[in-house]
Amino acid sequence: MKNDNRLFWLSASLLGFLAITGLAACCWLQFLNTDYVMHCGKAELIEKCKTLQAKPVDSGRQYIVYFTKSNDRPSEPAFNIMDREVINTLVHKGHKVLKVCQCNPPIALMQVPEGDGIDPVERTAEARDEVEQSGGDAHFAMNLQIFLDTTDNSIWTLQEKYPKLESATSTLTIAVIDGGINVDQFQHEMWINFPEYDMPAGPSRLDGLDNNTPFNRYKDDIYGYDFVEDASIFGVGASIHIHGTKVAGVARNTYKAFIVGHPNPYVQQLMDLKVFNDHGEGTLFDAACAGFYAIDNGADVINASWVYYSSKKDSLFEQVVLRAQSRHIIIVAAAGNDIMNTDCCRSYPSAFADIYPNVLSVAALNSGNTDLASFSNYGCQTVTLAAPGEKVATIDFKGNEAIVEGTSYAAPFISALAGALRAKDRNATAETIVDYIGSQAIPLHAPLITKGKIDEGNLQTIIDGFP
């Protein structure tokens, strides 16, 4: 009995020490809590991870060529002479240009030839070799499928072209990379690209021109852009997915409940970047294009309420993270709803939180905000925080209250918080804000994430306490 007591107190002391060290405590409890946590070597986790891996688009026939050196002449096409030579080399080999992301530096979506009997993945690998051997500033990535983690694929068709919006003198922009936002429900809260909105033709119709000076190479991008259709985000007949509107609703509710009327007032605006179709399906190419657009057009925070699993670190979206870091832009990403330890089975872009100081990965809390929700992903290294993710209030297409759950809706809660801190101190680095948020998180009973939880109970205190 005496030895048992000594063992108990030794274990308790060890756990207390590990609780202080944070990450170590998380990993130690993963070792102890065998009922809740699947170890990385467990067969069932390995098989589940295999089923979650992102699939190549078009059976592997699509690949991406991207460049990292900017064109210093913004009035000219995004591709410089060497970039065009790379693309032309591939085209002469029978490869097809499907899409071009008009960011600077540019990205091209390519497709290998079909009908020659060669496996598309092998043909894509040959394309990579062509790109790499050509030298210069050219890089290769596979185009992967990404999905919204939702069973609700409701669609709304926009009814108006241009609701009358008002400009705020002090604004904070959250870029929502998702399935589109019903602008009709956010008429005073949308980011506005005023060179396009105040075009000579007036706000009643699209003019088909890039009215930005210097050019941003996108036409009629008044509230953002539709990267699925490569078109204006707004117009009669355009369809949007319910998910993006619900995500935007959480960001708005958080802003209104805790930030309006606070000292240093500002207006939170939402940049609408559509990368998912009516079925909640998207591609890595469109997501990367949207990320670069957000960075180049003044977003302060990027919200990514979606995931894709990959055994290899994604080099393309990593470029988005790196550029955002260089501009002190914070990326808030949903951890995912697959009850998965993402330290073992990595989901992106949230897993970049383990590498880059401007990324926050957000798990979901249960309805009582006491522990992780039963469906939430977790990870000592790859998941930073947990935020409300069950019985979360937002709106539907018609502006009626809707109750939702998922890490998709935990993420915009934190995006609104990060935006509030950015508005309070415009000179603070992204790393400073991310570190501060993490330091204010309250540890969970079973610390299966890096920091802890943030909910309605401590949100205002966090905002007030920021230097």
Tens of pLDDT, residue by residue over 130-178, are 666 665 677 888 899 998 877 777 777 655 444 444 444 457 899 999 9
Specify the pLDDT at position 178. 95
Task: For residue 388, give the nearest of 245, 256, 254 by alpha carbon.
Answer: 254
Beta carbons within 8 Å of 302's beta carbon, 6+ residues apart: 174, 175, 177, 291, 294, 295, 324, 329, 330, 331, 332
d(CA 395, CA 403): 8
Mean pLDDT for 307-335 is 92
Tell whether the model's pLDDT for residue 356 goes beyond 50: yes
Mean pLDDT for 62-84 is 67
CATH of the domain at 302: 3.40.50.200
Number of folded domains that form the chain: 3
38 lies in a domain? no
37 lies in a domain? no
Based on the domain organization, do 428 and 284 belong to the same domain? yes
292 lies in a domain? yes
Question: Which stretches of 100-192 are DSSP H helices?
Answer: 120-133
Tell whether the model's pLDDT for residue 453 goes beyond 90: yes
Specify the pLDDT at position 7. 46
As a whole number of Å, the end-to-end CA separation of the chain is: 52
Q: Between vectors from CA 345 to CA 343 and to CA 349, what angle results, nearest 5°?
A: 80
Mean pLDDT for 193-200 is 66
48 lies in a domain? no
Q: How far is CA 384 from CA 114, 448, 457, in A?
A: 43, 10, 18
Based on the domain organization, do 71 and 163 belong to the same domain? no
Q: Between vectors from CA 328 to CA 327 and to CA 334, what angle results, nearest 5°?
A: 115
43 lies in a domain? no
- Name the residue with higher pLDDT: 266 or 419: 419
Lowest mean pLDDT among 26-30, 352-356, 423-427: 26-30
- Predicted model pTM: 0.86
Based on the domain organization, do 328 and 438 belong to the same domain? yes
| pLDDT confidence bin for 313, thresholds 50/70/90 | confident
Based on the domain organization, do 331 and 386 belong to the same domain? yes
Based on the domain organization, do 187 and 119 belong to the same domain? no
Range of the domain at 22: 2-32
